[in-house]
Structure 1
Amino acid sequence: MAASGLVATGTAAAAPAKKYPVSWDFRSAIPSALQQTVDPNWAPPGANDPSCRLTKERPNPVVLLNATATTQWAYNAGAPYLANNGYCVYTFNYGNITPIPTFPIQGLADIERSGREISRQIDRILRRTGAKKVDLVGWSQGGGLLPHYYIDFLGGDKKVDKLIGIAPGNHGSTGDMLTYVRYFIPPFGPVGYEIFKALFPAFAQQAQYSDLVRKVYGNGDTKPGPHYTTIVTKYDEIATPFTNGFLEGDNVTNILLQEDCPVDLSEHLSINFSERTWRHVKNALTPAEATPVPCFQVDPFYPGMSEGR
């Protein structure tokens, strides 16, 4: 069952001195993707700030893991929003299948290899900050199969306090039924799928019933230690069926955005650039400060889409 994820309110931490602009529109991230391509030190506003200091109220670094076929630019809204609320936010790229380190389309490599990449990055962040654990917030692959593999098989259960998945690719996806195309017109469907799998391993590994999905979720959805939160939309057209995003376990909070807000029309793209989503993320990161998430219209793809603007 989906839950609201709302608990009692508490005293908020002091607001940071510096405020970053937040744009709840994925189109604002497009220039950032281009900027990242030419600047190897680029990070979204509010992320990777060497002056940020952990506090008693926010003792864990918040590590943002991007979706398949994206990089750090995916958090052009989430990173500044969290930084403005006093969190130390960290981003990095992973899963690059090109020789260009700043290529803006990554997260495509073998997920087990990417798991080892993020393991090294998380260890680096823990050493830099002196923290004992991190909180992971991830979109799609970054909130689903990848962090679950890290937690289950690379010792992440000892280093992760909370995992918050935004439209997470848990239990594999049918890709709006596209994964079944591989069974069409033998032998061309299967051959084409094997070529696609060799070129873009992460896509195939996230397909429902893949070997990696069976390996990661076959013995249960969670491990003792971390608390898991899923934030899911019933209009997801990529991580399908959307119910696969939910987890089972005593240490789980499942949130369906439409349960208390039918005018939230987020789909797989806009969910990561929605203010409602990130209010839920903040509540999950700091439950003692949680406040009700108001209901307001969220359009698919970008603001104004429903009105044809």
Structure 2
Amino acid sequence: MPNRLRRAVAGLIAAVLLTASATTATTANAAPSSGFDNWSCKPSAAHPNPLVLLHGLGGNGPGNYSFLGPFLAAKGYCAFTLAYGQATPAIPVGGTVSIAQSSAEIQAFVQQVRQATGAAKVDIVGHSEGGFQSIYGPKVRGYAGQVGKVVALAPPTHGTEFGGLVSVGDYLGLRPLVDQVLQQFGCPACDELIVGGAAVAKLTTGPIAQPGVAYTVIASRFDALVTPHETSFIREPGVTNKYVQDTCPLDPVGHVGLAFDPTVAQLVANALDPAHASRVVCAFGPPL
């Protein structure tokens, strides 16, 4: 990426993070039927399923969802995130350990959210590796009965031809920490998510979509990391697959940018509550 574009993107993300921080402060004082990482939040009748938000490889929950988390809380959801799959708790870089280890942490977090909120089910929103985990967990770990909806943003469902999935942390200013983790601990998840990887094989053996769960997979035609783009999609009954550009053809959003794109945020909200879907106002997401 040219330096000028990289600086512009970094500026855009910084602005998004500042805006999201202000929004978080607002939602922290909101009614207890909404909130981002507000553990006193109780789901409303309109949104009975709390949200579990899963970050991408090399990132963490608070950073990856600094825009989308407050956006969904403002829509009336109880939304919760975590930093799963950290090689060491001393470094805020997640998702690098094995898919199996991360998925166990995520399953425990789902139970924690259900217990705290009193909800029978959660809805899961996942980005990149988090999108993969949102699909993998209900099937492989067997908790589909506790999940209502899954919205996966650019998941490497069938594996990706590109091995450099450590991207979210890179563009959130965590690259030195990402490099430190990779040098000290390696990245088992990276090997498992490429075409033919062990986790991909486990997920794609037999039907992927689980009965009773409504799936939406959202991808971008400009994604340079999960390629070919079609590999994100699940061509099975009960799954809605869509490109951002099917709704907003001029949106140049890339892989990382999906979590920071107002267009995608509206698509996610509509997927979570299709009975009250609103017209999407096209915007421009970060092209990275």
Structure 1 counterpart of 2:97, one-letter code:
A
Aligned equivalents of 1:70, 1:25: Cα separation in 2 = 18
Q: Aligned ranges for residues 236-251 of structure 1 at < 5 Å? A: 236-251=223-238
CA distance in 1, matches of 2:18, 2:285: 22
Distance 2:247 2:122 in 1: 30
Q: Deviation string for 1:152-187 (max 9, x for gaps)? A: 121221111111001112111111x779xxxxxxxx
Residue 261 (structure 1) shift: 2.0
Please, which of 113, 121, 128 is the counterpart of residue 125 of structure 1?
113
Aligned partner of 1:70 among 59, 66, 81: 59
The number of aligned residues is 250
TM-score normalised to structure 2 length: 0.80
Contact 1:69 1:108 in 2 (8 A): yes
1:84 equivalent in alignment to 2:71: no
Partner of 1:150: 137
Distance 1:155 1:178, change over 3 A: closer
Asked whether the 8 Å contact 1:95–1:108 carries over to 2, the reply is yes
- Distance in 2 separating the partners of 1:88 and 1:25: 27
- The gaps in structure 1 that reach 5 residues or longer are 1-23, 36-43, 180-194, 302-309
Does residue 57 in structure 1 map to residue 46 in structure 2? Answer: yes
CA distance in 1, matches of 2:164, 2:274: 38
**Displacement after TM superposition at 1:291 (Å):** 1.2
1:122-177: CA deviation from partner (whole Å, max 9, x where unpaired):
11111111101000001001011x222211121221111111001112111111x7
Mapped to 2, the partners of 1:233 and 1:148 lie a distance apart of 18
Q: Which has the larger radius of gyration?
A: 1
Equivalent-residue separation in structure 1 for 2:164 and 2:65 (angstroms): 27
TM-score, with structure 1 as normaliser = 0.75
1:239-294 CA deviation, whole Å, 9 max, x = no partner?
11111111111111111111232211000111110000010110011111101212
* Overall identity of the aligned pairs, in %: 31
Contact 1:137 1:143 in 2 (8 A): yes
Which residue type is aligned with residue 200 of structure 1?
C
**Of 203, 225, 229, which aligns to 2:212?**
225
CA-atom RMSD, angstroms? 2.6
**Structure 2 residue identity aligned to 1:81:** F
Assess, with a 3 A threshold, how the Cα gap between structure 1 residues 264 and 124 changes in structure 2: closer, same or farther. Answer: same
Higher helix proportion (structure 1 or 2): 2
* Aligned equivalent of 2:178: none
Conserved? CA contact 1:52–1:88, under 8 Å: yes
Supply the distance in 2 between the matched residues of 1:275 and 1:92 (Cα, whole angstroms). 22
